[in-house]
């Protein structure tokens, strides 16, 4: 007998769960309370799959609130975890607590000699274990192989297993900021001792090349300008060096880069939805069409509709890594799958609701791919799954609430609250999504603590003061994807603020044609099998890193002048 959950066949649940970690069921996808709701749904699905594997074949899942295990048992790591002791507070003596920062090392290409580099990947806002593929076949391995160096993944404080607090309350998160995390990296570089390596590979006695993508890409740039004595070179991929309160440009990049038919259908459909929501007699009928008639708030309703759009950034040149969610959504919207074909044709529905076929297709996709994750026979209501007005739902602070980490960071320093664009610019998300709605999670999730209070709005100045769009240094490379929705917040922005730069060996400044989010970070075991544009960027990265290392002069030997014989 096939096990079902809320009428969903178990294989479908497994399929949905398999995509939940890196796509739209992720707190990083939507910077608002709805993003947290989707993260929680992802965790629930993961629990269902775990229970299924453990033999719970009843109609309702057992232990859905139990700690979650991976959906698919991970391949045993080729790299053993090591730890480095870090102070929780480097600067202000607010605590003498420490934590164990995790890291992993690839020595397969290491050739001991003066000048053999350390290639370190900043783990960024996720578990360091998620970066291990880049240590094995990705950019750390590519550069280590080309230079005879070692590769390292350094996990970010508070993420994965690098946790030094008992909960994720507002007070406990007060040491989670860019300043403290940058000093973690610097302290590590100055003092680390790698297992099974006799040589002293600390900085500045060894050339360290610091790599990061996205948020970690900005950190790579920050490390190069703030710690030039330690970081010999840095590669900032998709580096969001410009923090901003609202990032309407994110969705605008998708609008302009997506298939024109899909983009046009999105714009027209969202315009229709916004118009219909203004008329009370039609509001309920519209929501019912999407399977969301029980959802009280119009803003909650339209925020659910953004679910498939954030999956644009999860596309990747390697189909084994990337998500196809956005392409599947567009195929449904356009009628390229077994749905109604003529998307411009208007249909009059019972109750006087007049919509085009694209809107019907949109509604079908949401019902089947989002609403289906919240089955009523599992004891869930639409408000339980997609409502955002109950503050208490966002105030659980145990260590399992990992969504709180990046949300705290964007609420305090980074921003990126995704709102609709200014009037006059076409939009693929509802104009109801304003800063008040997007920001309210910051108030809901982080009430003032005894020792720390979240600022009224993110303090983006703390980030932008480090260089913003114009951050630059010798041996600091910027690499961006041509159609990355995060490109407007990098030095390659075309939305204003950035300046044209030359692409040189000393200051590389490169765009990956057709690329999206840090597409240079992953690679294949056999590089010749990579697409041409990926082989090219990897070759160019090897070229400029080798050129940098030719300038390495070794540690500075300081002569002492206090000898009694002088």
The C-alpha atoms of residue 291 and residue 366 are separated, in whole angstroms, by 8
The question of whether 169 is a catalytic residue gets the answer no
User: Facing residues of 86 across strands?
Assistant: 99
The C-alpha atoms of residue 262 and residue 248 are separated, in whole angstroms, by 19
Of 314, 484, 493, 520, the catalytic one is 484
Of 185, 214, 237, 303, the catalytic one is 214
Helix, strand, coil percentages for the chain (3-state, nearest 5): 40, 10, 50
The question of whether 434 is a catalytic residue gets the answer no
**Dihedrals phi, psi of 506, to nearest 5 degrees:** -75, -35
Q: Which of 222, 225, 26, 199 is CA-nearest to residue 113?
A: 199
Which pair of structure tokens corresponds to residue 534? Answer: 């990926």
7: left (phi over 0), alpha (psi -120 to 50) or beta: left
The C-alpha atoms of residue 423 and residue 488 are separated, in whole angstroms, by 19
Which pair of structure tokens corresponds to residue 535? Answer: 């082989």
Give, for 87, the enclosing helix (H) or strand (E): strand 81-87
DSSP string of 295-307, one letter each residue:
---HHHHHHHTTT
Return the sign of the alpha-carbon dihedral for residues 48, 54, 60, 64: negative
DSSP state of 339: S
Q: How far is CA 496 from CA 113, 469, 470, 493, in A?
A: 45, 9, 12, 7
Q: How far is CA 483 from CA 38, 159, 419, 458, 487, in A?
A: 25, 28, 19, 26, 7
Q: Looking up tokens 């339209």, which residue turns up? A: 302
Catalytic sites, residue numbers: 214, 484
């Amino acid at each position: 007998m096939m096990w079902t959950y809320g009428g969903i066949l178990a294989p479908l649940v497994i399929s949905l769960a398999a995509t939940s970690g890196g796509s739209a069921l992720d707190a990083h996808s939507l910077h608002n309370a709805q993003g947290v709701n989707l993260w929680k749904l992802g965790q629930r699905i993961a629990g269902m799959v775990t229970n299924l594997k453990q033999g719970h074949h009843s109609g309702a899942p057992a232990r859905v609130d139990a700690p979650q295990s991976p959906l698919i048992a991970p391949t045993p790591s080729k790299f053993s975890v090591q730890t480095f002791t870090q102070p929780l507070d480097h600067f202000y003596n607010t605590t003498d607590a420490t934590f164990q920062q995790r890291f992993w090392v690839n020595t397969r290409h290491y050739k001991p000699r003066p000048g053999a580099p350390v290639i370190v990947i900043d783990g960024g806002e996720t578990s360091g274990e998620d970066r291990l593929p880049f240590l094995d076949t990705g950019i750390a391995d590519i550069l280590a192989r080309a230079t005879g160096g070692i590769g390292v993944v350094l996990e970010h404080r508070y993420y994965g297993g690098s946790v030094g607090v008992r909960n994720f309350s507002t007070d406990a998160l007060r040491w989670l900021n860019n300043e403290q995390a940058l000093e973690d990296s610097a302290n590590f570089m100055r003092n680390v001792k790698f297992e099974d390596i006799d040589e002293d590979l600390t900085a500045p006695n060894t050339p360290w090349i610091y790599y990061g993508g996205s948020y970690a890409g900005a950190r790579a740039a920050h490390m190069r300008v703030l710690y030039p004595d330690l970081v010999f070179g840095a590669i900032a991929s998709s580096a969001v060096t410009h923090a901003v309160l609202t990032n309407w440009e994110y969705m605008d990049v998708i609008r302009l880069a997506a298939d024109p038919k899909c983009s046009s259908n999105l714009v027209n459909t969202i315009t229709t939805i916004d118009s219909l929501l203004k008329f009370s007699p039609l509001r309920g009928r519209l929501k019912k069409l999407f399977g969301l008639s029980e959802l009280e708030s119009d803003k909650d309703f339209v925020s659910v509709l953004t679910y498939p759009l954030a999956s644009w950034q999860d596309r990747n040149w390697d189909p084994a890594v990337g998500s196809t969610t956005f392409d599947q959504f567009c195929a449904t919207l356009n009628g390229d799958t077994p749905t109604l074909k003529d998307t411009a044709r208007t249909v009059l529905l019972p109750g006087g609701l007049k919509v085009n076929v694209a809107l019907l297709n949109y509604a079908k996709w949401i019902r089947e791919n989002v609403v289906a994750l919240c089955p009523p026979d599992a004891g869930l209501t639409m408000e339980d799954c997609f409502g955002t007005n109950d503050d208490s739902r966002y105030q659980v602070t145990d260590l399992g609430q990992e969504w709180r980490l990046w949300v705290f960071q964007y609420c305090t320093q980074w921003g990126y609250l995704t709102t609709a664009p200014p009037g006059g610019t076409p939009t693929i998300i509802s104009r109801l999504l304003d800063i008040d709605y997007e920001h309210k999670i910051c108030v809901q999730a982080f009430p003032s603590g005894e020792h720390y209070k979240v600022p009224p709005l993110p303090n983006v100045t703390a980030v932008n003061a480090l260089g913003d769009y114009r951050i630059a240094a010798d041996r600091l490379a910027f690499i961006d994807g041509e159609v990355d929705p995060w490109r407007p917040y990098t030095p390659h922005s075309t939305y204003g603020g950035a300046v044209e730069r030359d692409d040189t060996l000393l200051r590389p400044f490169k765009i990956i044609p057709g690329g999206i989010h840090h597409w240079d970070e992953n690679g294949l075991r056999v590089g010749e099998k990579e697409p041409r544009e990926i082989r090219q960027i990897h070759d160019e990265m090897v070229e400029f890193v080798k050129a940098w290392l030719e300038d390495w002069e070794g540690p500075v030997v300081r002569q002492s002048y206090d000898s009694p014989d002088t």
